[in-house]
Amino acid sequence: MPDPRELLTLEQYRDEVRSLLPGPTAGETVPLEPDLPALLGRVLAEDVRARGPVPAFANSAMDGYAVRWADLAGLPARLRVVGEVPAGSPADPAIGPGECVRIMTGAPVPTAADTVVPVELTDEGVDVVTIGSAPDRGTGAHVRAAGEDVAAGDVVAPAGTTLTAAVLGAVAAAGHAEVVVRARPVVAIASTGDELVAPGGDLGRGQIFESNGTQLAARAMQLGCVARRGPVVRDDGEAFVTALDALADGSDLVVLTGGVSVGAYDIAREVLSERAGGTFRHVRMQPGKPQGWARWRGTPVLALPGNPVSAAISFEVFGRAMIDALLARSPERPWRAVAGTSWRSPGGRRQLVPVALDTDDQGRLVATPTHRRGSASHMVTSLAGADGLAEVPEDATEVSAGDLLTIRRVR
Ligand SMILES: Nc1nc2c(c(=O)[nH]1)N[C@H]1C(S)=C(S)[C@@H](COP(=O)(O)OP(=O)(O)OC[C@H]3O[C@@H](n4cnc5c(N)ncnc54)[C@H](O)[C@@H]3O)O[C@H]1N2
Ligand code: MOO
């Protein structure tokens, strides 16, 4: 166990809190219908493999005529139309020399044909058709081969994939009516602080609107969790213990904000340290330096700093790592972008700056801080326009326009 006063890197502290978890949540089988709305954002617990080849059979990419390429040797070609195959038809008409069949997009290509001629290249004849020119692509033109998308048994979505509309479409195309997904982690969230007033109320002197709870609960939901909201916890030891008992019961993770610093009323730090052996650390990052964790009746508790930008960024870095571990989700690959402007960074701490992303004339991704004062931790509304968090390395004291940055996406 490292010395609690030691400054940890972001990765060291992330690994420390992630090791509090017992492992991923259980897998559960959920049908696509009627539970589609409940599946969006959930994470696959098992690979989804194609039940058969996709496409399932060789079929036409065009409305036109299924022909034998050899019959197009002399153009124009006059062919006898000996049948018709609409989409969904099981027909497999025989086609002899000088013959063809009308075929529609998606219909199975007759075994005897090798090429489809689109109607646009013909006189659209019903009994006899005249084909003026052959498809440029030659033999096999406009025939979609069985299995050319995926072969039977191929993985269409690996375990750890988050279900989006596109992934769910692929699952359905692969023939599955249900998927096995991780149970949604239950994340209980509460803010601490006597100064906090619910939005909509009136502010007295020294009071502010509570916003961390709303932001973190919404983000936990976006990340695939069930968010449980507790009432604001007052800066009082007994109230804190009672609140924590309720939050921890039945939750996979408790996230608290505020009261982790060294102030006289920093109740989270006080109670978790004294009654749960809580560990409070300084992490080499800005914002988000003061951090703490504990176990309360066996449930991991993450105590984040109260400053809204610090809380949000800490959750993005540490809370998200824990949620991804609970869901066994494949980690998102960071992006690279160039800085759109210059700013200063505290040496010795990794700076995480909310940035908006855009592209420039050369097609480069450009990251620009959403607030002119960079990552000041009380600039609560600077988060709203952020597409990502730019990471400035510990050894940098400033960022110049054009510098290459690593970006964590937050949308
Ligand atoms: N003497 C020192 N003071 C502070 C230090 C330090 O090292 N020495 N660290 C500073 C840093 S960095 C941070 S971050 C904060 C962390 O403080 P706490 O976690 O104890 O947070 P609070 O004091 O409770 O609140 C800080 C700030 O954020 C506002 N807040 C709190 N909760 C909410 C909420 N749910 N919604 C909206 N806003 C919230 C609160 O009113 C304060 O303004 O400590 C520094 N101090
Ligand atoms: O580290 Mo605090 O989190 O700067 O605002």
Phi-psi region of 224 (alpha: psi -120 to 50; beta: other; left: phi over 0): left
How far apart, in whole angstroms, are the C-alpha atoms of residue 313 and residue 282? 15
| CA–centroid distance, residue 312 to ligand 1 (Å) | 13
1 domain-assigned: no
The ligand that comes nearest to the alpha carbon of residue 351 is 2
pLDDT top residue among 354 and 5: 354
Q: Using a 6 Å cutoff on CB, does residue 310 contact ligand 2?
A: yes
| CA–centroid distance, residue 377 to ligand 2 (Å) | 6
DSSP element (H, E) containing 389: strand 388-392
CB 248 within 8 A of CB 254: yes
> What is the pLDDT averaged over residues 320-344?
96
Number of domains in the chain: 4
Tell whether 162 and 33 lie within a shared domain. Answer: yes
Q: Is the pLDDT of residue 330 over 90?
A: no
- Nearest Cα residue to 228 out of 264, 272, 184, 292: 184
Tell whether 204 and 111 lie within a shared domain. Answer: no
The predicted model scores a pTM of 0.93
Tell whether 177 and 36 lie within a shared domain. Answer: yes
Tell whether 162 and 124 lie within a shared domain. Answer: no
Q: What percent of the chain has pLDDT over 90?
A: 91
Tell whether 201 and 294 lie within a shared domain. Answer: yes
Q: Using a 6 Å cutoff on CB, does residue 306 contact ligand 2?
A: no
Lowest mean pLDDT among 227-231, 311-315, 330-334, 357-361: 330-334
| CA–centroid distance, residue 187 to ligand 2 (Å) | 23
pLDDT of residue 231: 92
pLDDT of residue 383: 85
CB 188 within 8 A of CB 302: no
> What is the pLDDT averaged over residues 217-246?
95
How far apart, in whole angstroms, are the C-alpha atoms of residue 302 and residue 293? 5
User: Token pair for residue 43?
Assistant: 């994470």
The ligand that comes nearest to the alpha carbon of residue 199 is 1
Q: Using a 6 Å cutoff on CB, does residue 198 contact ligand 1?
A: no
pLDDT of residue 351: 95
Atom 24, ligand 1: which residue's CA is nearest?
258
Tell whether 190 and 323 lie within a shared domain. Answer: yes
The ligand that comes nearest to the alpha carbon of residue 232 is 1
Q: Is the pLDDT of residue 5 over 70?
A: no
Tell whether 93 and 70 lie within a shared domain. Answer: yes
> Please, what's the largest Cα pairwise distance for the chain?
95
For 251-284, give one letter per residue: b (16+ CB within 10 A) or e.
bbbbbbbbbbbeeeebbbbbbbbeebebbbbbbb
User: Token pair for residue 170?
Assistant: 């692929």
Which range of residues forms the domain containing residue 345? Answer: 335-409
Residue 151's pLDDT band (cuts 50, 70, 90): very high
Tell whether 209 and 298 lie within a shared domain. Answer: yes
Q: How many residues would you count in the chain? A: 411
2 domain-assigned: no
| CA–centroid distance, residue 309 to ligand 2 (Å) | 8
| CA–centroid distance, residue 191 to ligand 1 (Å) | 12
How far apart, in whole angstroms, are the C-alpha atoms of residue 47 and residue 154? 10
Listed in order, strand segments (DSSP E) in 115-160 are: 115-118, 128-131, 143-144, 155-157
Atom 5, ligand 1: which residue's CA is nearest?
261
Tell whether 200 and 217 lie within a shared domain. Answer: yes
How far apart, in whole angstroms, are the C-alpha atoms of residue 371 and residue 379? 8
Tell whether 32 and 45 lie within a shared domain. Answer: yes
Q: Is the pLDDT of residue 79 over 80?
A: yes
Other residues' Cβ atoms within 10 Å of the Cβ of residue 322: 24
Q: Is the pLDDT of residue 3 over 60?
A: no
ipTM above 0.90, yes or no: yes
Mutate to test the pocket of ligand 1, among 307, 310, 313, 351 (most ligand atoms within 8 A of CB): 307
DSSP class of residue 74? S
The CATH number covering residue 103 comes to: 2.170.190.11
The alpha-carbon radius of gyration of the chain (Å, integer) is 30
| CA–centroid distance, residue 297 to ligand 1 (Å) | 26
Residue 287's pLDDT band (cuts 50, 70, 90): very high
The CATH number covering residue 165 comes to: 3.90.105.10
CB 232 within 8 A of CB 199: no
Averaged pLDDT of the chain: 95
